[in-house]
């Protein structure tokens, strides 16, 4: 009995470890760079577009303008942006997607990536379910269809990856739940990194297209169960692909 008691105590320590999670990832500056670079890589600010003004960005990211400016400077040095002064100026995205790819190595530990896949299998189907449950506004329906259209007609793998991430983010945004949107964003960022590091076949993309269409259909039809089921399959397929190739 002592053994099992000890085991329970050990597991309870794990509980403590869970609640006492580390707060504050790294330096604000680094997180800032990462966040902006991610936004650009995900195509949220496409090539040629202008970032919001510094003061606004700083406020949205909860960071002082000085810190934000350092981050922007780093991105400028990295060749991701150019900056123009004066009215109508700003930081303009200069993004050249690396189509050949596959030369980048993963920086996060492998377990963290596997964890993201597991978590994704819960939150994204959940998001699809939630989206199908609520009644959507006209603009939300419009966004959903536009996202589907974009990911369907995307030419080139890098562009497709961007459109795919935005498609999934769009579904999450339909829920209007900040926590859920945040979770999906996190997961998509990690996923985007992983997908950039492996070769993706055309037939995988075709398969995704069909699943995407089915998900949108189910959401618009209000069939929450089906939306979740299809999204689960979709996540499982991507996860299987990634686990196999990493």
Partner DNA sequence: GCCTTAAGGTCTGGTATCGAACCTTATCGG
Partner DNA sequence: CCGATAAGGTTCGATACCAGACCTTAAGGC
Which residues are near DNA by CB under 7 A? 24, 27-30, 51, 53-55, 62-67, 69-70, 72, 83-91
Residue 244 interaction partner, one of a second copy, DNA, none, beta carbon < 5-8 Å per kind: none
Backbone φ, ψ for residue 84 (5° rounding): -120, 140
Question: In the structure encoding, which two tokens stand for residue 58, read together?
Answer: 């700083």
* Residue with Cβ nearer a second copy (116 or 158): 116
Chain-centroid distance, C-alpha 77:
25
83 binds, among DNA, a second copy, none (CB under 5 to 8 A by kind): DNA
**81 three-class SS:** strand
Residues that bind a second copy (CB under 8 A): 4, 7-8, 10-12, 14-25, 28, 31-32, 35-36, 38-39, 42, 44-45, 52, 57, 60-63, 112, 115-116, 118-119, 121-123, 126-127, 129-130, 138-140, 142-143, 146, 166, 169-170, 172-173, 175, 177-183, 185-187
Please state whether beta strands 90-93 and 81-84 pair in parallel, antiparallel, or not at all (unpaired).
antiparallel
- Please enumerate in sequence order all residues whose Cβ is within 8 A of that of 240, keeping only pairs 6 or more positions apart, or say none: none
Return the one option of DNA, a second copy, none that residue 29 interacts with (CB less than 5 to 8 A, by type).
Answer: DNA
Instruction: Tell me the C-alpha distance between 50 and 94, whole Å.
Output: 10
User: How far is the CA of 125 from the CAs of 4, 34, 228, in angstroms?
Assistant: 36, 27, 4
Distance of CA 215 to the CA centre of its chain: 18
Least gap, CB of 66 to a second copy (angstroms): 14
| Distance from C-alpha of 189 to C-alpha of 181, rounded to nearest angstrom | 12
What does 60 bind: DNA, a second copy, none (CB cut-off 5 to 8 Å by kind)? a second copy
Give min distance, CB of 59 to DNA, in A: 9
CB of 151 vs DNA, minimal distance in Å: 30
């Amino acid at each position: 009995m002592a053994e099992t008691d000890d085991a329970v105590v050990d597991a309870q320590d794990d509980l403590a470890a869970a609640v006492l999670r580390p707060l504050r990832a790294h330096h604000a500056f680094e997180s800032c760079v990462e966040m902006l670079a991610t936004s650009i890589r995900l195509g949220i600010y496409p090539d040629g577009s202008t970032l919001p003004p510094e003061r606004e960005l700083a406020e949205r990211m909860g960071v002082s303008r000085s810190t934000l400016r350092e981050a922007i400077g780093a991105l400028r040095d990295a060749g991701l942006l150019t900056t123009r002064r004066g009215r109508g100026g700003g930081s303009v995205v200069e993004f050249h997607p690396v189509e050949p790819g596959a030369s980048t190595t993963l920086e996060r530990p492998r377990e963290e990536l596997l964890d993201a896949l597991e978590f994704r299998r819960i939150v994204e189907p959940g998001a699809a379910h939630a989206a199908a449950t609520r009644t959507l506004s006209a603009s939300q329906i419009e966004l959903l269809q536009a996202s589907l259209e974009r990911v369907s007609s995307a030419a080139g793998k890098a562009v497709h990856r961007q459109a795919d991430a935005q498609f999934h983010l769009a579904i999450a945004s339909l829920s209007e739940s900040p926590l859920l949107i945040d979770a999906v964003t996190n997961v998509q960022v990690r996923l985007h990194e992983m997908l950039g590091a492996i070769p993706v076949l055309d037939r995988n993309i075709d398969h995704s297209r069909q699943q995407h269409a089915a998900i949108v259909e189910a959401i618009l039809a209000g069939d929450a169960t089906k939306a979740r089921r299809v999204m689960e399959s979709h996540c499982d397929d991507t996860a299987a692909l990634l686990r196999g190739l990493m």
